[in-house]
A and B are shown apart, each in its own frame.
Chain A
Amino acid sequence: MAAAHIQNGAGYGRMLGRPAAGLPGWLGILPYGLVLLAVFAVPVLFLLRLAFGDAGFSLAHFIRIAEVPIYRSVLLTTLSISGMTTVLAVVMSYPLAYLMATVSPRVRSILVVVVLLPFWTSALVRTTAWIILLQGNGVLNRILMGTGLTSEPITFVYNLSGVLIGMTHVLMPFVVLPLYAAFRGLDLATVQAAEGLGAGPWTVFRRIVLPLTAPGAMAGAMIVFMNAIGYYITPALMGGPAQTMIAQMIADNITRELNWGFAAALSTVLLAATLLIFVIFQRIFGLERLMAGGGGTRGGEAFRLTSRGRTSGGILTAACGLLVALFLIAPILIVFPMSLGSSPFLSFPPTDYSLRWYANFFATSKWLDAFLRSLQVAGLSVTASVVLGTLAAIGLSRTGRRWRPLLETVFVLPMIVPVIILAVGLYYLFAPLGLVGTIWGLAIGHTVLATPFVFITVRAALKAFDTNLELAARGLGAGWVTMFRRVMLPAILPGILAGAIFAFITSFDDVVLALFLTNIRTRTLPKLMYEGVAHEIDPTIIAAAGLIILVTIAVLAINLLLSRRR
């Protein structure tokens, strides 16, 4: 922390009005600000310039998007698939959130794990698992045909149902979590008051529960829609040609058509749509809702199941909630045992268990290299993002109130802007600099993606940190560095660690940046997996998926242990 000023002997009286002495706010903000400018704003602005014509201003690309039917239909497909995914996510989240709110604490914590585990498991692994489950000779079709329910395999993937299943699964937790918080925030007495006035279960749901939980569902739905319109890998892997969405169209225009201008114009459209939703979201819910669920009962008792038990509608809803929970955990429940099979053919459940494919994974240099490279890149970007994000959060807390909301918004933008746009922009920026195909270029990209997570968690920890402690320490004669090391750092360390964990998972799971910024010699584990899944799934890929699940569980367990200790 070279930036810290040592100010021994600062008088308590001088300190009282100005906790800002010590690290000046601008110095904390500057590093992350510069990084954002150089490797986020610049590449995105490059793209915007390309979109409006290389030489001189032109709307030709946009006119083409609007006029050529196939592009129009891609835009329409993007909107309709995102809309359907959002509706599915909300509809499926309600019974699950209801179930989570009305079970015993022990069952509730199991359900929370059931939601969080897939949430944090790489989208690529989950998509892979769904393909294994749903493909023509996949697990589900074999079960259906084995029991004689169908005679022909049903096509679940490489069509609309595949995309919807995959995307709903990946994005649904964004609704479940705030909705669950909304259910917990419901005052039991409000529900009982309605019953006492004569409302039956359905009326209670329609007139009380639904309106009071709608803001939570709305917040989640907007996040889902915002993510869905820019989604790349799941529709690319699980959809057919008719499900081509805008992100895939952008990628195709660069890798196949080499039409940068047109790809840039598509990116501009996507960016504008995403930012529009983001601005609306922020206006309605504020930035805090982006990470935290919000809610909390006002004085009363939280909504729960009373000794009367469930009504028949309640039983039905709870059963649906259970099915949704099963849907969320199914890929992990099926793929993990499969990775332990010994047969070279995919089968579930495996006839006998072995570590054969894990052994194969570590014995094959391309897999092992990719795995180690992923860890390397993650190590680099976690380090960088922890330093940048922590400094920025501390810096922001010492910046004037007038600038805070703007800076806060800018600092979380990399979470909002679709990854495909960042990937294309960085590719364009890095190629002439010779950074494409190196782990450095990728690590820089991952740092940009991951720093908002550190920033948000440390910012939350700082908000909970009592400024008087800082004043007290300074008043007792501690310099800023001593104060930071002995008082502030211990208080915000859990936030930093949580941020580091999110940063690690962000980097370790990324496919999209790796697709553009690495080559065959520098590819990461997810990229190698992606290439395999796009062609044919072999058992080693499943072992790789199993390995990623294990890493995720280990990292989440560390997070849990650390947060328990507090």
Chain B
Amino acid sequence: MSIRHLGKPVRIEGVRKAYGAAVALDGISLDIAPGEFCTLLGASGSGKTTLLKALAGFETCDAGSILVDGRDIGPVPVSRRNIGMVFQNYALFPHMTVARNVAFGLEMRGLSRAEIGRRVDGALALVSLEGYAGRFPRELSGGQQQRVALARALVIEPDILLMDEPLGALDKNLRQAIQQQLRDLHQAIGATIVYVTHDQEEALFLSDRIALMDRGRIIQAGAPEDLYFKPANRFVAGFLGECNFIPAGDGRPGEVAVRPERTLLGHAAAAAEVRLGGQIRSVVFTGTGYRVIVDVAGRVVTALTDSDDKVARLPPGSDVIVGFERRHAMTFAA
């Protein structure tokens, strides 16, 4: 299957959208490079779907503009935008077979029967559904439906591929398998993808870049590592992975944020740059090790230890040293 290896760049400038009094998008600006896998991450109601619908053209914007490859697509009707979309509930046409679903967009483009057949076969092969062309959507499992939706969106060779929580309805094992497939697929076709999820692990796993959204705004956009290790504020730090908020120590004012895997306990903490005293509250076995929850001056601090760490065997209430290296401490302006 020949999907162009050139996705188009997208520029979103000051987009606003309100539903009556409720502001769904509050001045969104974002640049997405060609071929980039960009994820919109945020809690439910943060405006992710609304932004995606504005990109696709299903909703109008109150202000701002969206440029694809430098051209404002505001006046372009949905049917001419050449944007692929995978809906959260897949939105397969229930009265058409898998093959007819995938062929639909090609038929709209007036391709010849032979060409359509060839491309549909190619798209179904790409998502490993070769034998399912004659089935109806209701005869497929959730994961298969999801792949049909993906094939249907990809087969038109879209300038941008939009995906709205496409794995939301699948169980965990299947989700992980498809995440891997999505990564491989993106590497193979190099399309510009705008992906929506509320699952931070999924976002970290898939994305070249993550835009974290909250209440209609983008709080921080950047590479997964940047967001994880250099969060712009407490909200970002708390949203992506776990975070301990610990007094800065050494008599300094304020607090710093330290990831649990960077938080040291007992022996390991003895040589740390910053050390604090605390009491063990509880210890939970996680398989790879233990999660130790410590009370540090009234704050709850979580640390992860190896399974052979003696600290984990201390009874609750025991005194323990908590420590961290200064380079692992994240500080925020606010």
Contact = CB atoms under 8 A, between A and B. Distances in A.
Contacts of A537: none
B108 A199 contact: yes
A196 B57 CA distance: 8
Contacts of B59: 306-308
Interface stretch (B81-89, B182-190, B298-306, B307-315): B81-89
A198 B89 contact: no
21 contacts: A187-B89, A190-B92, A190-B93, A192-B58, A193-B91, A193-B152, A195-B78, A195-B79, A196-B79, A197-B79, A197-B108, A197-B152, A198-B79, A198-B108, A199-B79, A207-B104, A208-B93, A306-B59, A307-B59, A307-B60, A308-B57
Interface in B67-124: 77-85, 87-89, 91-95, 104-105, 108-109
Contacts of A490: none
B73 to A, nearest CB: 13
A193 B89 CA distance: 11
A380 to B, nearest CB: 49
Nearest to A201: B79
Nearest to B18: A307
A189 interface: yes
A300 interface: yes
Interface in A179-202: 187, 189-190, 192-200
A298 interface: yes
The 8 closest A-B pairs by CB, nearest first: A198-B108, A197-B105, A189-B91, A193-B91, A195-B78, A189-B87, A196-B85, A211-B95
B80 A308 contact: no
A196 B104 CA distance: 11
B85 A198 contact: no
Interface residues of A, number: 23
B196 to A, nearest CB: 14
A198 B83 CA distance: 9
Contact of A197 (B58, B94, B156): B156
Contacts of B87: 189, 192-193, 300
Contacts of B276: none
Contacts of B83: 196
Task: Determine chain B's interface SS by DSSP, over half rule.
Answer: loop
A200 B89 contact: no
Contacts of B80: 198
B330 interface: no
- Which of under 10, 10 to 19, 20 to 34, or 35 or more describes the interface residues of B? 20 to 34
A434 interface: no
A563 B152 CA distance: 45
Nearest to A212: B95
A40 to B, nearest CB: 40
Given A196-B81, A307-B17, 9 more contacts: A187-B91, A189-B88, A189-B89, A196-B56, A196-B79, A196-B153, A199-B79, A200-B77, A200-B79
A298 B89 contact: yes
A208 B17 CA distance: 29
Contacts of A192: 56, 58, 78, 85, 87, 91
Contact of A203 (B82, B91, B108): B108
A198 B295 CA distance: 59
A366 to B, nearest CB: 58
A193 B79 contact: no
Interface in A123-162: none
Contacts of A306: 58-59
A299 interface: yes
Interface string A302-317: 0000111000000000
A190 B88 CA distance: 11
Contacts of B78: 192, 195-196
Contacts of A211: 95
Nearest to A211: B95
Contacts of A308: 57-60
Interface string A277-314: 00000000000000000000011100000111000000
A196 B56 CA distance: 7
A300 B156 contact: no
A307 B109 CA distance: 26
Contacts of B93: 190, 193-194, 208
A214 to B, nearest CB: 9
Nearest to B86: A193
Contacts of A193: 85, 87, 91-93, 152
Interface in A358-406: none
Contacts of A299: 89
Interface in A291-350: 298-300, 306-308
A211 B94 CA distance: 10
A328 B65 CA distance: 45
A306 B61 CA distance: 12
Interface in A208-238: 208, 211-212
Contacts of B153: 196
Contacts of A190: 91-94
A300 B85 contact: no
A248 to B, nearest CB: 41
Contacts of B56: 192, 196
